[in-house]
A and B are shown apart, each in its own frame.
Chain A
Amino acid sequence: QVQLQQWGAGLLKPSETLSLTCAVYGGSFSGYYWSWIRQPPGKGLEWIGEINHSGSTNYNPSLKSRVTISVDTSKNQFSLKLSSVTAADTAVYYCASMGIAAAGTGGWFDPWGQGTLVTVSS
């Protein structure tokens, strides 16, 4: 059964770059979209973007100018970088997977990482 474990810095200053990594354990790295999703305190879920094992990416248009998602297939890991953060980027960030075949009918995220609270404050 696939498990996701994520880590990264939890406290940033405005204008810094957020950096998180998610490791995939117990399953194949290919055949999936690997996504980042965030949730500001008290608010809903927002999809940030996705990458597949070959490095093809797709980003939320509202964040595209600041987001980079990359993959390291040798380590079964994928990473998120979000530049020029502000207080509005304060959120719990989750990594999650969606089957590429399933995406054709709508897809679903399962499993999810445990979440990382990232706070942006001066």
Chain B
Amino acid sequence: SSELTQDPAVSVALGQTVRITCQGDSLRSYYASWYQQKPGQAPVLVIYGKNNRPSGIPDRFSGSSSGNTASLTITGAQAEDEADYYCNSRDSSGVVFGGGTKLTVL
């Protein structure tokens, strides 16, 4: 099966913009979806499809894709955005997740 690669950790100053990336061959054929996970909680979907947000997700979250790379952008990061972020997509075997990115808001 294919893999999705994420940077293990990223930091951003409060109120600034941060981009979290996800790379993998399957992303040439499929969109990535993105999940936010805080300690002790189940993951929460924040971006799906081309660039769609579920109800209740702030519009500071956005998604984009180019070639084999998908990106999650948080414009004006808030303290409550500090969390682990995971990308996922389908591949030839079924479903694949990225390793996760720990976002620290400074």
Which residues from chain A sit less than 8 Å from chain B, CB to CB?
35, 37, 44-47, 49-50, 58-61, 94, 98, 102-103, 105-110, 112-115
Contact = CB atoms under 8 A, between A and B. Distances in A.
Interface residues of B, number: 25
B42 A113 contact: yes
B94 A60 contact: yes
Interface stretch (B10-18, B26-34, B73-81): B26-34
Interface of B: 1, 30-33, 35, 42-45, 48-49, 54, 86, 88-90, 93-100
7 contacts: A45-B97, A47-B94, A60-B1, A60-B93, A106-B89, A107-B30, A107-B33
Interface of B is mostly: strand
Contact of B95 (A47, A94, A113, A115): A47
Nearest to A1: B55
Contacts of B32: 106
A107 B89 contact: yes
